[in-house]
Structures are given as structure tokens and as C-alpha cells.
Amino acid sequence: MSLARDIITIAAVSAGAFFFLAGTVGLLRFPDTLTRLHALTKADNLGLGLVVLGLLPQAGSLRDGLKLVSIWLLVLLAGATVSQLIARTARQGETAK
Amino acid sequence: MNIATIFEIVLAAVVLGLGIWTIAVRETYSATVGFVAYGLLVALIWVRLDAVDVALTEAAIGGGLGGVLLLGAAARLRDGERTVAETPGMVTRVSAVALSALTTAALAGAIVFLPDPAPTLAPTVVGHAWATSLANPVTNVLMAFRAMDTMLEKVVLLLSIIGVWSLAPDNAWGGHPGPRHRADPDGILVFLARLLPPIGIVVGIYIFWTGANHPGGAFQGGAILASMWVLAIMAGLTDTPPVARRWLRFVLVAGPGLFLLVGLGGLWFGTAFLAYPPALAKPLILGIEVAMILTIAATLGLLLAGAPERSVK
Amino acid sequence: MTEFLTAAVGFILAMLALGLVSILRGPGDTDRMMAAQLIGTGGIAALLLLGTVTGVPAAVDVALTLAVLATFASIAFVKKGLSSLEADGIGSTEDHK
């Protein structure tokens, strides 16, 4: 049982780290602000979700697990809305030029 | 050179690099963003050093509130930036570098040459937890063993808000701090400002409540509550209250006031100023903390709002 | 397991640093606004992993606080960035009805 938990943790955290890598590569290589914003929010949120998934088997109790999941949901909400706000600012800045 | 050391080196390098960039960059807005990022990363360092209460405060104040305060100042300075003609001379710069280097060397020396094991009162504090029946040693120190310092800190907060209010122009005396924000009521900002504060308030109260036995406390909880209030103000959902209102002023003095009352009660009914009878210690401390969290939230929110700008009419 | 998780934290931190380099080098203010988002997501992932590695369960509380406050900081950045755009005379689609 403990081995299965460890395997899930390693697999999920590795996948999460990979998505963080993908997000950072996108941030470095994409040409303009809007695409980079997309890479940042979508890839990083998915990476965080996978990391949370990987840490769930290691969590001490149901309450801790729920806390982890609610952190991820909060970050999702924040990421979605704040990226919209930043995108609007970027669009306004562009139309001004 | 194991993995843990490599990780610590990476963390330290990132934080140092970010700090250097924050000092070196030209625009104030960018420097403020760098400072906030730096604060959030230093919270990571505190967790690594097993000082979670400090990490919470760093994330709350250094990351969130301090950054927004600096942003407001940077925004006010933005127009003045282009007209600044005076740059520091060579003598000033060299002395600044010399002083900074000297301070860094002194700090580094103090840490490197600490006696091993370092002198500490931590075991004594943990051993005396029976006096308050709270399990978090940091809360015990803040609210019982060094309660005087905490009370005086809250008085300092009060003095700072008086200082900010004293900057009001004559016609706005006693009026609303800061400008009136407006936002599209169907827009995203208002949506988030409706959705996030209830969550943030629950988180703030949770962090305050868990401070009795786990890392947390009234200050961190109050900072989170303050940030949610400022969020609602920024989205135009509520206006800053006029500073002349009695209820506002009552909330601002409630924390230190209750603290002082309990302290005087300890003097009259007990052995010394701020002495708690062990049976009543926990309810007394929690009561003071409830008043304190309201005061801290109100004070920090008003500090971010600024000096009164609009008269009550 | 502990070594793997510590390596994961170090990796995510390195990705954070690269992302920061890209954001802070970017040409406009809109790029800076993304910094709080980046640190929020990456920092929370690092904190959750760090909490499991060092056996400090309260790190989850720090991650929760970070989630709320990084969102607040991002919104404040966008608002101040927006208002400076308006000060330069560009109209806003979001505010001021």
C-alpha cells in the first residue's frame, strides 16, 4: 500500500514538474504578452494541480487533503480571473500604440 | 553536497538575484513588483528555516500589503519621475556602498561566529506552556511572556494611522481616504471582488484561530482581512469610511484599549501589570486577540487607503 | 522519497527563476504584472512540497495565505497599471462607466 502511494506521488509530481517546465519554456519562447500569459496561467495551474494530486496520498488526514484541493481551486479561480484582467490591460496598451 | 544543500543554494541564488535586480532597475513600478516577488520568496526561506509564523507574516505583509502600499506611493511619484533632475553624487554613492557592505559583513560575521549550540530561550518557553494552555510557543511569547511589547506595537500602529490622517488637506479633514474607485459592475474585477472576500475572510479567521496551537495568530489573520477589505474598495464595491466616524475610531482603539484594560486588571486584581491568572489565561488572551484582529484589519486597510482626500459632503 | 521531493522543489524553483528572468526582462509593465501570478503558483507548489519534505505541516497554511495574497497583489498591480494607462490618456473598457 505504501509503495503504491509512493509511486502515485512520484508519477504525479514528475508530471507536475514537467508542466511547470512547459509553462516556463512557453514564457521564454512565446513572442508576445498574451501568448506568454496563456503559457503562464494554463501550464502552471495544471502543474500545481498535478503536484497537489501527488501530495494527496502523503497527506495525513482527510482534512489535510481537502485543504490541499481547496488551495488548488483557489489558485485556479485566481489565475483565470487575473489573467483576464492582465490580458485586457495588454490589449489596451497595444491599441494605444 | 546532497540534494537539500543544492536546493538551498538555488533558493538563495534566486532571492539574491531578485534583490539585486530590484535595486538596479530604473522604473519604480518594476522595482515594486520585484520587491513583492522578493517578499513572497523570502516566505519560502522562512519555512525552510522552520519559522512558519514569520513566513506567514512575510507573505501577508511583505508580499501583499507592503507591496500595494509601495505601489500607491510609486503611482503618486510616477509623474514626478520624469522631472527629477537631482541624482546622488559620487560621494553619496560610495558611502552608501561602503555602509551597506559593512552592515552585511557584520551580519554575516555574527551568524558565522555564533556559538554552537546558540544560546536560546526556546526550551524554557516550551516548558512554560502550562501557564496559558496554548500550544504555539510564538503565541505564548507574543501574548503572555512579552505581552507588553505586543501592546506597544498596537499603539505604534495607532500612531502611524494618526500620522497618515494628519496629511489630509484642510477641506478634506475627517473625510474619505483615497479616491473613489469605480469599475464596470458586470466586469471581471467586480466578479472577483465579490467572490474572493468571503473566501479570504474565512482564511483570515482560520489563520487567526489556529494560532493558538499552530503557527498563525491575530496579526497574520488581520492582514488577510485587511487585504480583502482593500480589494472590495479597489473594485468600487464599497467606499472608504469617513475617518471622523465614531465607530471607526472605536474599532481602531479597541485592540490596544482592551489590552491595556486587561493589563490594568492584572495590576489591580493580580500580581503585576498584564499578569493573567492561569485559569483565565486562555479566554483572556483569545478575547484580546479578537479585539486585536479587528483593530489590525481596520488599521492596515486604512493605511493602504491613504490620507483623507474627499470631504464628507 | 524525500530526495525526490527536494529535487522537485529545486526544479520548480529553477523554473520560477527562469520565468522571472523572462518576465522582468520583458518590455512593458504588463509583463511585470505576471510576476505575482508566477510567484504565486510556483511558490505554492514549492511550499506544499517543502512542507512534506521538512515535515512542517503548517507550510500548507502558508501556501493558503500565499494563494489569497498573491491574488490580491496581482489585482493591485493590474489596477495601478490600468490607472497609469488612463493617466496617459488612453480610455478604459473595464472601468469608469
pLDDT tens digits, one per residue of B231-268:
999 888 888 898 888 999 999 999 999 999 998 988 88
CB atoms within 10 A of CB B252: 22
In the predicted model, what is the mean pLDDT of chain B? 88
DSSP 3-state of A13? helix
Write the DSSP symbol of residue B308: E
B36, B204, B212, B240 from B43: Cα distances, Å:
11, 17, 21, 30
- Residues B70 and B163 occupy one common structural domain: no
Q: Chain A residue closest to C10 (CA)? A: A17
Query: Quick check: B106 contacting A, CB < 8 Å?
Result: no
At position B58, the amino acid (one-letter code) is E
Query: Quick check: C3 contacting A, CB < 8 Å?
Result: no
CA C33 to chain centre: 9
User: Grid coordinates 479567521 are at which residue?
Assistant: B205
- In the predicted structure, residue C96 carries a pLDDT above the cut 50: no
B144, B231, C66 from B65: Cα distances, Å:
27, 11, 12
Tell me which chain B residues have a C-beta less than 8 angstroms from the C-beta of A74: 199
Q: Which residues pair with B177 in a beta bridge?
A: B308
Residue B124 lies in a domain: no
Supply the range of the domain harboring residue B63.
Answer: 1-79
Query: Quick check: A89 contacting B, CB < 8 Å?
Result: no
Asked if B216's CB is within 8 angstroms of C10's CB, the reply is no
Burial of B7 (0-12, 13-18, 19+ CB in 10 A): buried
Query: Quick check: C15 contacting A, CB < 8 Å?
Result: yes
Count Cα atoms within 13 angstroms, Cβ side, for B11. Answer: 27
Asked if C81's CB is within 8 angstroms of B59's CB, the reply is no
Residues 6+ apart with CB under 8 A from A39: A22, A23, A25, A26, A27, A30
Q: Chain C residue closest to B7 (CA)? A: C10
Question: Please, are residues B221 and B61 in contact by the beta-carbon 8 Å criterion?
Answer: no
- Give the global pTM: 0.90
CA distance B196 to chain A (A): 8
Hey, CA dihedral for A80, B301, B205, C63, is it positive or negative?
positive
- In the predicted structure, residue C92 carries a pLDDT above the cut 60: no
Q: Where are the domains of chain A?
A: 2-96
Q: What is the DSSP string of B86-119?
A: ----HHHHHHHHHHHHHHHHHHHHHHHT--SSPP
Residues 34-63, chain C, touching B (beta carbon < 8 A): 35-36, 39-40, 43, 46-47, 50-51, 54, 56, 58-59, 61-62
What is the three-state SS of B166-192?
CCCCHHHCCCEECCCCCCCCCCHHHHH
* Alpha-carbon gap, residue B209 to B221, rounded angstroms: 8
CA distance A56 to chain C (A): 11
Q: Chain A residue closest to C50 (CA)? A: A55
- Residues B148 and B252 occupy one common structural domain: yes
Among the residues of chain B, which ranges form H helices? 3-24, 28-48, 52-57, 66-81, 90-112, 122-127, 137-140, 147-165, 188-210, 218-234, 246-269, 281-305
* Alpha-carbon gap, residue C51 to B220, rounded angstroms: 19
Asked if C72's CB is within 8 angstroms of B228's CB, the reply is yes
- Please report, to the nearest 10 degrees, the dihedral formed by the alpha carbons of residues B120, B126, B128, B134 taken in order: 140
Helix H or strand E segment including C84? helix C59-87
Tell me which chain C residues have a C-beta less than 8 angstroms from the C-beta of B220: 65
Burial of B222 (0-12, 13-18, 19+ CB in 10 A): buried
Q: Chain A residue closest to C44 (CA)? A: A48
Asked if C45's CB is within 8 angstroms of A71's CB, the reply is no
Determine the angle formed by the axes of helices B28-48 and B3-24, rounding to 10 degrees.
160
Chains A & B: contacts with CB separation below 8 Å: 14
* Alpha-carbon gap, residue B285 to B213, rounded angstroms: 13
Where does the pLDDT of residue B222 fall: very low under 50, low under 70, confident under 90, or very high at 90 and above? very high
Asked if B191's CB is within 8 angstroms of A85's CB, the reply is no
**Per-residue pLDDT, C62:** 92
- In the predicted structure, residue C95 carries a pLDDT above the cut 60: no
Where does the pLDDT of residue B78 fall: very low under 50, low under 70, confident under 90, or very high at 90 and above? low
- Nearest by CB to residue A75, choosing from C44, C52, C92, is C44
Where does the pLDDT of residue B79 fall: very low under 50, low under 70, confident under 90, or very high at 90 and above? low
CB atoms within 10 A of CB B288: 25
Q: Chain C residue closest to B215 (CA)? A: C58
> What share of chain A in percent tops pLDDT 90?
37
**Per-residue pLDDT, B300:** 93
Residue B85 lies in a domain: no
Buried/exposed B69-78: b ≥16 CB within 10 Å, e otherwise: bbbbebbeeb
* Alpha-carbon gap, residue A71 to A76, rounded angstroms: 9
Tell me which chain A residues have a C-beta less than 8 angstroms from the C-beta of C12: 17, 20, 51
Q: Which three cell numbers stand for residue B229?
A: 477589505
Asked if A44's CB is within 8 angstroms of C94's CB, the reply is no
Domain count, chain B: 2
CB atoms within 10 A of CB B258: 20
User: Grid coordinates 467606499 are at which residue?
Assistant: B239
- In the predicted structure, residue B86 carries a pLDDT above the cut 70: no
C-alpha closest to that of C39 among C16, C72, C23, C65: C16
Instruction: Return the residue in C16, C23, C24, C30 with the most chain A beta carbons within 10 A, the one to mutate for interface testing.
Output: C30
- Residues B26 and B161 occupy one common structural domain: no
Question: Please, are residues B234 and B169 in contact by the beta-carbon 8 Å criterion?
Answer: no
CA distance C30 to chain A (A): 6
**Per-residue pLDDT, C94:** 47
Question: Please, are residues B292 and B218 in contact by the beta-carbon 8 Å criterion?
Answer: yes
User: Grid coordinates 551568524 are at which residue?
Assistant: B111
User: pLDDT tens-digit profile of B188-202?
Assistant: 889 999 999 999 999
User: pLDDT tens-digit profile of B275-302?
Assistant: 888 788 888 899 999 999 999 999 999 9
User: pLDDT tens-digit profile of A20-69?
Assistant: 999 999 888 888 888 888 888 888 889 999 999 999 988 878 888 999 99
Asked if A78's CB is within 8 angstroms of B188's CB, the reply is no
Tell me which chain B residues have a C-beta less than 8 angstroms from the C-beta of C62: 43, 47, 52, 55-56, 59, 215
Chain C: touching chains (3 or more CB pairs < 8 Å): A, B
Asked if A9's CB is within 8 angstroms of C19's CB, the reply is no
Q: Which three cell numbers stand for residue B75?
A: 503611482
* Alpha-carbon gap, residue B308 to B236, rounded angstroms: 17
